[in-house]
Structure 1
Amino acid sequence: MPAPAVPSPPADLLTVRVQDPYPYFAWLRRHAPAHPDRRPGRPTVWQISRYDDVRALLTDGRLSKEPGRVPGYVPGPAGLNRHLVHADPPDHTRLRTLVNAAFVPRRIARLEPFITDTANRLLDRIEQHTHVDVIAAFAAPLTFRMICAILGVPTELDNAATRDTLMATIAPAPGLDPARVEGELHALLDILIAGKRTSGERGEADLLGALVRASDESGAMSEEELRSTAYLLLLVGHDTTMNLIGNGVLALLNNPGQNARLTGPQTGPGLITTAVEELLRYDSPVRDATFRCAAEPISLHGQLIGEGDIVSLLIGSANRDGTHFPHADRLDVSRTPNDHLAFGYGPHFCIGAALARLEGSVAFPLLLQRLGPVTLAKPSDELPWRPARVMRGLAALPVVRN
């Protein structure tokens, strides 16, 4: 019996996917929950949009994280793809174990005073201005400073130029030479790693130093894995939480009633906690789960996903699935329960989830309190979004303090 015909989405839904993907996601959930994107000369990409399917496939052993299963496919900068996000067991288990100790919740909790102090210092500068870009002035430097502190990145490299080099690997600016960006990135990582080797700073409190030691003394990591892991942690440890803050502030400004609940006199830690979870769900900083491909054929909704096909698990769509979340398109900062998939699920659950949650719980109350009443400097539909495949985040969030 032939497979049912898959309809094509309306063109107007495709044209706004970067700006606002949610109408397109709703169309997929309703009409094509397993939708193949076939283009000449490229591997087939299956878009999986419903919550139950996404959650199940996040733990499905028939999906592989190894890009080498798709001939010619390179998901990131050349030479920087040998990390835990692109590994199956036993390599994934080995690499995650090496990194995990730095991100356990009790160690992350000790960073709260440092996060608070860093956020307040940034806000001291912001308070001197009427027009503020929340991304450039707050979200980007705060989140990058935190991951630099965990990794042990020298102060002189904790700057906008380093951040720009990292971000250009996932959302390159028009006219930027990818080869030059990759060259600059490799040089930066080599400087970081060489610095740990020459200074001898390879203690447990310094994650990058500990990884260098694992590579040099026990052979637990290859040089390519070391460089790739440093890149991954710098990028993801910064980008996802920056997106959480930017997307979250925009969501609150577009929902003044919910914003008022967080800035009112009765706001407490409990509401902040549920609010962070809801902001993670409502406009997830990770739109599509990281790379997966079918290691064997998989049947889903009458479709056959072929071995070697890429499977894109749409986290942003799953988190707006009305069959799982009541009033899914409504922001509710007190929503509970809230078993969103913003951090994934299963063995590849985001290793930095505790850090992102802590940064969000510190950043949102301080930012909302110290900014005071603000309005968007331009309409929401004119705000620039970075055209990245996996992440969803604003390039800028200009506001005016009233």
Structure 2
Amino acid sequence: MTDVLVQAAPPAELLASRASDPYPYFRWLREHAPVFAERKRDGRTIWHISRHDDVRALLGDERLSKNPDTVPGYRPGPEGLNKHLVHADPPEHTRLRRLVSTAFLPRRIAALEPFVQHTAEDLLDRLDPDTGVDLIGEFALPLTFTLICTILGVPEHLNTPTTRTMLTNTVVPTAGQRTDARLRTFLTELIAHKRHHPTGELDLLGALVGAREQLTEEELLGTAYLLLLVGHDTTVNLIGNGLLALLRHPDQLQALRADPALIGTGLEELLRYDSPVRDATFRVATEPIRLHGRLIQPGDIVSLLIGSANRDPSHFPDPDRLDLTRNPNDHLAFGRGPHFCIGAALSRMEGALAVNLVLHRLGEIRLAAPDHELRWRPSRVMRGLESLPVTSR
């Protein structure tokens, strides 16, 4: 088999429904085109890899570079904000990861639990499910953004819906272009502020600003952007997707309500079932890679479909069933290898607390809108809801 073979095309109805429900499309890819070539108008090729074992292996494959500079003219993130550890190979990646890793040590995550619980309880106490609640806009977003601002040492007056929207719009294809300059200005002013107003131990951004000899100005800006965005956006999706999955599976919701300790294995299943990151971040081939009879050429972009890998029946028995007791559960929601999500422990802690608190403080809630009215944010990498309306009526 060679790359000259005719490639089957996914059915149009599966392509049309990818935003709301990508899993039938992923199933088709795994069964018919596990290494699927998408030819772009600019001449580039993007390879979509859908099977678990292939995605797992390629997540740590040194033949795939994370540096977008290897693809002339390609820009995976906001202009001027791409120099950070997600878009770096060793040794730059190793250096950048070391600078931020101390903020995500297990002892620091554990120390933050009381703050997260208090913040979540305060937010939930303000909500009245009888009149309707948006669990994204009124709970998940302010909870996760408040925590990452606290870790980074961002001044309280900048923890606003406007700031959150400016950041999250950068992962929306049509909105991102409009916010790039404004976001760069915001981050430049934030860093200038931190140079003169460090705020103590919980001040990762202040520590990075102080490490001037280890970071270029562009790396500092890019890292600040990355931590502010990914430090909350992924967990928003985890909380939203997880609660939606539970509301769609009342038996599992009631099991967790009856036994909150089930959140241990349960959170891993929520991560697997509807992963907050559906497609791994940018990778480009630096050497030829042959896979399932297809030849990936140097310079081709490789898209590793985490959401598909986590529903692969060859790896997960009955993968489309939500089972909070599933064990083992070696999902790939946080990636694998050198680029394994640095904030995974933080996200797990936040997600577990948030889901249990919603179930036990808001009472018997249900979706306040039919499934077809739920709106998913248009993003290639992330998978998350724009809103999650619930009610107790």
Q: Which amino acid aligns with 2:195?
A: R
> Match of 1:212?
209
Deviation at 1:268, TM superposition (A): 3.9
Q: 1:200-253 CA deviation, whole Å, 9 max, x = no partner?
A: 44x5531000000012xxx10000000000000000011000000000110000
Q: How many residues align?
A: 392
In structure 2, the residue corresponding to 1:236 is in which secondary structure?
A: helix
> Match of 1:47?
48
Q: Which amino acid aligns with 1:214?
A: A
For residues 273-352 of structure 1, the aligned pairs below 5 Å read 273-352=264-343
> Match of 1:383?
374
TM-score by length of 1: 0.95
Q: Which amino acid aligns with 1:383?
A: L
> Which structure 2 segments of 5+ residues have no match?
none
> Match of 2:189?
191
Q: 1:51-79 CA deviation, whole Å, 9 max, x = no partner?
A: 00000001101000010111110000000
> Match of 2:217?
223
**Alpha-carbon spacing, 1:108–1:2, altered in 2? closer, same or farther (3 Å):** closer
In structure 1, the residue corresponding to 2:126 is in which secondary structure?
A: helix
Q: 1:24-59 CA deviation, whole Å, 9 max, x = no partner?
A: 000000000000000221421000000000000011
1:56, 1:350 → 2: CA distance? 16
CA contact (8 A) 1:286 1:316 kept: yes
For residues 32-111 of structure 1, the aligned pairs below 5 Å read 32-111=33-112
1:2, 1:327 → 2: CA distance? 33
1:277, 1:392 → 2: CA distance? 16
TM-score by length of 2: 0.97
For residues 139-158 of structure 1, the aligned pairs below 5 Å read 139-158=140-159
Q: Which amino acid aligns with 2:110?
A: A
For residues 15-30 of structure 1, the aligned pairs below 5 Å read 15-30=16-31
1:387, 1:316 → 2: CA distance? 15
In structure 1, the residue corresponding to 2:229 is in which secondary structure?
A: helix
1:381, 1:308 → 2: CA distance? 39
1:316, 1:141 → 2: CA distance? 26
> Which structure 1 segments of 5+ residues have no match?
none
Q: 1:317-371 CA deviation, whole Å, 9 max, x = no partner?
A: 0000010001100000111111000000000000000000000111111101111
Q: 1:294-327 CA deviation, whole Å, 9 max, x = no partner?
A: 0111000000001000000000000000100011
1:71, 1:26 → 2: CA distance? 33
